[in-house]
Amino acid sequence: MTTTVTPHLFIPGPTNIPDAVRMAMNLPMEDMRSPEFPKFTLPLFEDLKKAFKMKDGRVFLFPSSGTGAWESAIENTLATGDKVLMSRFGQFSLLWVDMAERLGLKVEVCDEEWGTGVPVEKYADILAKDKNHEIKAVFVTQNETATGVASDVAGVRKALDAAKHPALLMVDGVSSVGSLDMRMGEWGVDCCVSGSQKGFMLPTGLGILAVSQKALDINKSKNGRMNRCFFSWEDMIKTNDLGYFPYTPATQLFHGLRTSLDLLFAEGLDNVFARHHRLASGVRAAVDAWGLKLCAKEPKWYSDTVSTVMVPEGIDSNAITKTAYYRYNTSLGLGLNKVAGKAFRIGHLGALDEFMIGGVLFAVEMALKDNGVNIKLGSGTGAAAEYFSKTATKSATGPTPKAKAA
């Protein structure tokens, strides 16, 4: 199909950008060292903390992807040779382990089946046995984008507390913050990594790192920390405190972020999380109606931001994504690493609603049918519509008409 319409985007990031956010970024370049600049940046720093549900600590904004924020979290709190506890169950948790090893950390890895998540019980046992507190940090991928798996951050905090263990709690929230609940303060998270292109509904380009006061104190006191320059907290703190940056910041993205935060707060964070859960549940109803399975092995692992759908034996998932793209103008996520060719991904995070979910399910149904998957057209879209209809809130029908005067 030949079309001038931009492909409909349903990958798990970058996500769709609301018009208000795009327009906020469409402005002339500005002087990032002007005396007026701090009036904009200082409130932005404080409001970002609200998105992570944190009170103390601070948030850093690096001109990078989330991977840069990963690196900053490690380099500013840990030393080469430090022992850390991590788990590997998807492409992005795998990459985080790879980074830790390449930066010289001694990694104790829990290798888990893809389709499951952070093994809280194993973590609890390992931490309880670490009487000398050799483990300096515990890593949690809150949402594994490759497999559509969400993990229990609060459960890991409980395991740390039960063992009376002082290790830092590090969380990858790249595809969760702004879409799934992140209670950084309540859960005692010390470093939480995110990026601009997911729940914050912006282009790629900002590595967002929220840091607890405990992590900041370790950064000040720890000897033998890793060498760092671009991702140094010390350099950022000196300038951020005044509303500036140690190098040229992504000012236009900041303006988009300001509007994105305003949209999230206007909807209410808890309402944002509820919306993502409801829309994800509609996608899952469709997958079930098609007779297909998710990569996530059971409901406790289901992600509300991305669904990784397994295809039947003998079907190439890459052919499905190509058909969706070229024939139906819809971008789906590819299967990665162990699930390459075996699964495709439907991203359902950021700025989206029931109508948009219905559209991607419509395209997926046709692409599945075209590639020999035995489904009934309308089965998945119908199941999602039925779910959305049953779960629609009363307010969605609009205000109750006023009675006419007698």
Specify the fold of 20-265: Aspartate Aminotransferase; domain 2 (3.40.640)
Q: pLDDT grade, residue 225 (50/70/90)?
A: confident
Q: What is the pLDDT of residues 113-149, one digit of tens each?
A: 999 999 999 999 999 999 999 999 999 999 999 999 9
Residues of the chain with CATH 3.40.640.10: 20-265
51: closest CA among 168, 170, 194, 148? Answer: 194
How many Å separate Cα 126 from the centre of its chain?
27
Q: How many angstroms separate the CA atoms of 364 and 162, rounded?
A: 45
- Closest C-alpha among 332, 257, 201, 268 to residue 45: 257
- Mean residue pLDDT of the chain comes to 95
- Rounded Cα distance between 296 and 169, Å, is 24
For 8-14+268-392, which CATH class?
Answer: alpha beta
Q: Is the per-residue pLDDT at 405 higher than 50?
A: no
Distance CA 338, CA 114 (A): 8
pLDDT tens per residue across span 35-66: 999 999 999 999 999 999 998 999 999 999 99
pLDDT digits 0-9 by tens, 93-114 = 999 999 999 999 999 999 999 9
Tens-place pLDDT, residues 288-346 = 999 999 999 999 999 999 999 999 999 999 999 999 999 999 999 999 999 999 999 99
Task: Give the model's pLDDT for residue 235.
Answer: 96
Which of 366, 304, 308 minimizes the C-alpha distance to 342?
308
The pTM (predicted TM-score) of the whole model is: 0.94
- Record the tokens describing residue 343, joined without a space: 């699964």
Contact criterion met (CB below 8 Å) for 30 and 352: no
CA distance 284 to 288: 6
| pLDDT in the model for residue 268 | 98
| pLDDT higher than threshold 50 for residue 205 | yes
| Beta-bridge partner residues of 86 | 109
Residue 366 in this model has a pLDDT that exceeds 70: yes
Half-sphere exposure of 93 (CA within 13 A, CB side): 34
Numbered ranges of CATH 3.90.1150.10 in the chain: 8-14+268-392
Q: How confident is the model at residue 223 (pLDDT cuts 50, 70, 90)?
A: low
C-alpha dihedral over 67, 71, 73, 77, to 10 degrees?
170
Phi, psi angles (nearest 5°) of residue 20: -60, -35
pLDDT of 48 reads: 98
Phi, psi of 170 (to 5 degrees): -110, 130
Residue 222 pLDDT class (50, 70, 90 cuts): low
What pLDDT is attached to residue 86?
98
Rg (CA), the chain: 22
Peptide linkage before 14 cis (omega within 30 of 0): yes
Q: What is the mean pLDDT of residues 369-391?
A: 97
